[in-house]
Amino acid sequence: MVLSPKEGAKIIASKAKHVKIKEEGINKLGDVIVEEITSGQLSPDNFSQVEVHPSPDEPWALDWLFVVDTLNFCFWHNENDEGWVVEGYTGYFALCAAINRAIKEKVDITNPTFYSAITEKQLTNILRSDSKVKCPLIPDRVKCLHEVGNALLEKFDGSFKNVVKQCNNSAEKLLQLIVNNFSCFRDEAEYQGEKIGIYKRAQILIGDIWACFKNKDIGYFEDIDKITAFADYRVPQTLLWFEVFQYSKDLNEKLKSNVILKNGDEEEVEIRACTVHAVELIKEYVNKKLDDKKANSILIDHFLWDFRRRYSKEVLEKGLPFHKTLSIYY
């Protein structure tokens, strides 16, 4: 049996040897998030305020989200190295900019008939960089596009909308549909005999649909609270900043030495699972303090990810490392 992200993360956090979650950090960060939500700074509306994101009125918005989140993995580079850049953006936003550029250039990138047969040369051109640094893992990205494109054509009449319709407004059901039908989204790990689903990209896809459509129409999910945080490279840095996380001396030294952790290594699984569980604890704390507005894990994750991006220089100056893994899962 595969444990859900929430269940599995709680168990791993209770056993973790390399990552400790600190209650005082939960409270400190929780108070910051309460203020952000109360002031209106943190809300689902912020998704559509980012210029590289689609408007829900665009007829291809849902297909855009599916393609972007199929490709949304592994953009990191060492802190002092040059990274992949598209139209001035880096990382995930560079991916968004590249897909938007392809649409402007009349490339049929949101059509599964096109991307189910895309070549490495075509994708390399779509993801071409402003810098000399190329987008990493192009062969893996091509493989992911082939897999999801063919699955859509064979099982869902060539439309991701048909996948979403089948979930009947249930985020939990949509998560199962995604991980059962598209194996490149099946982000699972084993830890001391337990199998846990982490499902970063599958959950972020659901979170992006929810945020883009503002929890309305095809983006309405009655159980959106079942979605957890998206366990990636960057959110743990914010958790370190607010002293929610404390790493063991050995793990800290490894990360500062740029050791590559394998996907599925004990330390890597602990960082990711503890990220999910810490956000669940923050959510509980925040919702006890809020009156009418309620937080979910997606909203809290948005804050944590944005914070790290906004204060990237300060995070670097503080020497707060991120774990480095070559993986299609995040």
- Contacts of residue 41, Cβ cutoff 8 Å, sequence gap at least 6: none
Query: Which of 69, 187, 232, 301 is the catalytic position?
Result: 232
Query: What one-character-per-residue DSSP string does 85-107 give?
Result: EETTEEHHHHHHHHHHHHHHTT-
Q: β-pairing, 2-3 with 194-197? A: parallel
232 is annotated as an active-site residue: yes
Exposure string of 188-204, with b = 16+ CB inside 10 Å and e = fewer, is bbebeebebbbbbbbbb
Q: Where are the beta strands (DSSP E) in the chain?
A: 2-3, 19-21, 85-86, 89-90, 188-191, 194-197, 245-247
**Cα gap 169→156, rounded to integer Å:** 17
- Contacts of residue 34, Cβ cutoff 8 Å, sequence gap at least 6: 286, 289, 290
112-to-49, 109, 154, 273 alpha-carbon distances in Å? 27, 8, 11, 33
Q: Pick from 202, 321, 323: which is nearest to 269 by CA?
A: 323
Q: Are 178 and 163 in contact (CB under 8 A)?
A: yes
Q: Which residues are annotated as catalytic?
A: 232
